[in-house]
Structure 1
Amino acid sequence: MAAGENPPPQAGQAPHGLRAGLHGLTTRGRSFLAAGITASLCAYVFGQDALLRVGVLLAALPLVSALWLLRTRYRVAGGRRLSPHRTPAGHEARVHLRLDNVSRMPTGVLMLEDRVPYVLGPRPRFVLDRVESHGYREVSYRVRSDLRGRYPLGPLQLRLSDPFGMCELGRSFNASDVLTVVPQVVPLPPVRLPGERAGHGDTNARALALAGDDDVIPREYRHGDDLRRVHWKSTARYGELMVRREEQPLRAHAAVLLDTREIAHRGSGPGSSFEWAVSCAASVGVHLVDRGYRTRLVTDTGRAVPSAGNPAATTPAEANGLLLDELAVVDHSDGGGLARAEEVLRGGEGLLVAIVGSLDSEQLERLCGLRRRAAGAVLFLLDTATWAGLRHLLPDASDGDFEEQQKMLRRAGWTVLPVKAGASLPELWRSADRTEQSSPYRDEVGA
């Protein structure tokens, strides 16, 4: 089966017993049964034999239908395939269902139902006509969500019905799938970021010394190795044949710091400042991975995704998948500061990109300290009051505080990108190009 499809679970025979059949009676079946019992009682009271025969017929029809369903031995297998299994928020995904009749007898009319969360849309239901022996039917439906997250799909529910519609019995499959709705990723233009060497995607020499791969340790000889790579000095030292490893290309390191503090963001739903920050982190992270950076995601809680930047374990596509999967479920934190993130980033980064909300004096100092540990640093500073629609109600001093924060961060060496509600992320990223900027201290040069 195709990737992302469940192995075909089977729904066996329905539970036996008249009680199970009575529970499966439809409204029509219950009405017939009630009418038959009533007619039989009236016939007994009034001594009408003809009415008794009618009552017995009415009561027997739903009971016979229930027993007939209980004795059916349909064996069916169901499978599900997601296309794609990871979709951006606001985009549609298609779910393909397949039902196989693996028994020797054809089925009757079947109703297939798949369980989906309410946020993905209404629960899909399909009526399938007779499925021949060893035949199959395929159906599909679409799901869409504007909210990030991981949503379970399934299990499949199969309902059997008799030809008269008197009784329905349900059978359930066991397997289920998970649809991951990731943040929207906006394509970013290629720019020369602060700290990069001219003509390279790497950071400066200091960052490469801290973060580059330097695989010069010899290893034991393996069959097929070129004898010209034998490292004789190590061979004499260890007493076995040793060869030099192949030199590995230098790769730059980068970290994306996402501020998830609830007190630092404003607004609600997909239009909040927090959702903009998550989408920004996803876009920047994917962009840096595609440019060859060994990228990791760090939040203010200290949670990091180092495996997203491990090229020995993942390809760039898998690295992007790990990053987006983490951002699909990231939520507000209760923290009030960036101390835990500072501990994680203590070792230094080649390039640091931070997306932060409202800041106080303590957080400003921590960000200034983080800047000294990175070769290059870009900061998306969100003016969260614009997301709450409060900027026009705030006094001018509030605008002054936001401007003062930008000046302090620029003095510390950050490339500050002020963000207001509705800002274009590609335009902001383009303004981070170091070739289009003067000194980071330009605000104070004329002072």
Structure 2
Amino acid sequence: MSAGGTAQVAEGDRGGEGGLRTALAGLTTRGRSFLAAGLAASVCAYVLGQGDLLRVGLLLAVLPLVCAGMLYRTRYRVAGSRRLSPARVPAASEARVHLRVDNVSRLSTGLLMLQDRVPYVLGPRPRFVLDRVEPGGRREVSYRVRSDLRGRYPLGPLQLRLTDPFGMCELTRSFSAFDTLTVIPRVEPLPTVRLSGEAKGYGDGRQRSLALAGEDDVIPRGYRYGDDLRRVHWRSTARYGELMVRREEQPQRARCTVLLDTRGGAYDGQGPDSAFEWAVSGAASVLVHMLEQGFSVRLLTDTGTSVPGEGADGFAGASQQSADAAGLMMDTLAVIDHSDGAGLSRAYDLLRGGNEGLLVAFFGELDEEQTAVAVRMRQRGGAALAFVLDPEDWSREPSPQQTAAARAADRRRTLRDAGWTVVPVPPGAPFAELWRHADRERAGLATAGGGEGRS
């Protein structure tokens, strides 16, 4: 990603009161000191009748004015561009910003100071001093940015400060273009487990769907141009007197829905180590992992919103578009925030009546009503896995009373009784270990219950 533009440094009024004010406003501390000293010396020389002192005073006063006038009327044309590497970076990781300045005029530039505007969460504002740039020449510099917080951060516009060789005056010109750095949640690599009965999105144990080409398709069907001759069904061909082929079968892609609870009242604390940030990072890890395993993946929140551009069956994994799908979901999770909703009913309405396959949910605090909604979600789908981040566990000052912890344990037990595989999440727990633990928990439930159907 790059941002560019051409700025005509020292472009502006060419005279008059407005141009004079602009030139004088660009005087540096050194220039103003020379001007004040020159005026004071000239006045004193005039009063005392000292001609030599008068000449020195006029020289001191005129020098900054001449520098300001020459700098203001100099017609430099400088082009600037920016490139991010990468433009999408996980939280707590660094990205490098490359800046390039081209002198597109026929005159050499003077001393330039290059400055880029960045939000304070990405670090200090970078500044670079560039020496004389010859006509047609270029200069390239770079700096690093880093953020522990998710989000989309604007970079720019790029600013140039032009100064004279004596440091008497400097003028600032800005480019108009800017870029956006997207800081996505941290994604933790997950081990391959068999939470839904299969380790891959495709497999011999998967349900298979028939690729029908029309209402008249039966087994077998008539030969169509382009059909593979190896699929010819000779017995039916002899019976009907025309070429008949077997109807082809294709594996049905396994589905996975990731439900992220974003209710503001369900989580306590803020910052990169908060429970909500852990849930967002966990959801991102599951989405990427399931895409890599070939699942059709869908992201859903408690408000019923999903990823823009997501189809009815979610994004397909193990395809050429899987990288783009992962990017879209990461962009959505980069800016996701707490919702104002108080319940999970909207998410349940979208899940109701559909075959969502494996359901992986990240819940905050669940009261009795929301626990009942989550129970109904499990009844509508296949395998269901819940990571529960109870505020009582994540609180820095736990309550001495055990009533809240007992209620949370009762609700987790209710979810287990409904068929959920429930994994409580303690602070700072590695997600890969919890993922393995969930696999063992589900295997134990399947053994105790005589096995569960595959989704």
2: CA distance between counterparts of 1:389 and 1:374? 36
2: CA distance between counterparts of 1:53 and 1:306? 73
Residue 403 (structure 1) aligned to one of 404, 409, 414: 409
1:182-221 matches, within 5 Å, as 182-193=184-195, 195-197=196-198, 200-201=200-201, 216-217=212-213
Partner of 2:268: 266
Alignment of 1:310 onto 2:315: yes
Residue 33 (structure 1) aligned to one of 32, 35, 45: 35
**Structure 1 residue 372 displacement after superposition:** 1.4
In the alignment, residue 196 of structure 1 is paired with which amino acid?
A: G
Residue 338 (structure 1) aligned to one of 341, 344, 353: 344
Aligned residues with identical type, % of pairs: 58
Residue 5 (structure 2) aligned to one of 6, 9, 19: 9
- Residues 311 and 143 of structure 1: is their aligned pair in 2 closer, same or farther, counting only changes over 3 Å? same
Q: Secondary structure at the match of 1:305?
A: coil
Structure 1 segments (4+ residues) deviating >3 Å: 202-205, 225-230, 244-249, 306-314, 440-443
CA contact (8 A) 2:202 2:254 kept: yes
Alignment of 1:19 onto 2:16: no
1: CA distance between counterparts of 2:247 and 2:170? 68
1: CA distance between counterparts of 2:52 and 2:150? 65
1: CA distance between counterparts of 2:204 and 2:376? 19
CA contact (8 A) 2:291 2:316 kept: no
Q: Secondary structure at the match of 1:133?
A: coil
In the alignment, residue 128 of structure 1 is paired with which amino acid?
A: L
TM-score scaled by structure 2?
0.84
Q: Secondary structure at the match of 2:444?
A: coil
**Structure 1 residue 316 displacement after superposition:** 1.1
Partner of 1:235: none
1: CA distance between counterparts of 2:342 and 2:121? 31
Q: Which moved more, 1:50-59 or 1:252-261?
A: 50-59
CA contact (8 A) 1:257 1:354 kept: yes
1: CA distance between counterparts of 2:334 and 2:117? 21
Q: Secondary structure at the match of 1:80?
A: strand
CA contact (8 A) 1:36 1:57 kept: yes
What is the count of residue pairs matched by the alignment? 414
**Structure 1 residue 315 displacement after superposition:** 1.1
CA contact (8 A) 1:196 1:203 kept: no
CA contact (8 A) 1:410 1:441 kept: no
TM-score scaled by structure 1?
0.86
Partner of 1:295: 297
- Residues 417 and 48 of structure 1: is their aligned pair in 2 closer, same or farther, counting only changes over 3 Å? same
Residue 371 (structure 1) aligned to one of 365, 370, 378: 378
Partner of 2:452: none
- Residues 306 and 437 of structure 1: is their aligned pair in 2 closer, same or farther, counting only changes over 3 Å? farther
Q: Secondary structure at the match of 2:35?
A: helix
1: CA distance between counterparts of 2:439 and 2:89? 30
CA contact (8 A) 2:202 2:251 kept: no
2: CA distance between counterparts of 1:65 and 1:245? 85
Q: Structure 1: 5+ residue runs without aligned partners?
A: 220-224, 231-243
Q: Structure 2: 5+ residue runs without aligned partners?
A: 14-18, 216-223, 230-245, 450-455
2: CA distance between counterparts of 1:140 and 1:41? 49
Residue 108 (structure 2) aligned to one of 106, 109, 120: 106
1:8-407 matches, within 5 Å, as 8-14=4-10, 15-16=12-13, 17-193=19-195, 195-197=196-198, 200-201=200-201, 216-217=212-213, 226-228=225-227, 249-305=251-307, 307-308=309-310, 309-311=314-316, 315-346=321-352, 347-391=354-398, 393-407=399-413
Q: Which moved more, 1:399-408 or 1:18-27?
A: 399-408
Alignment of 1:413 onto 2:419: yes
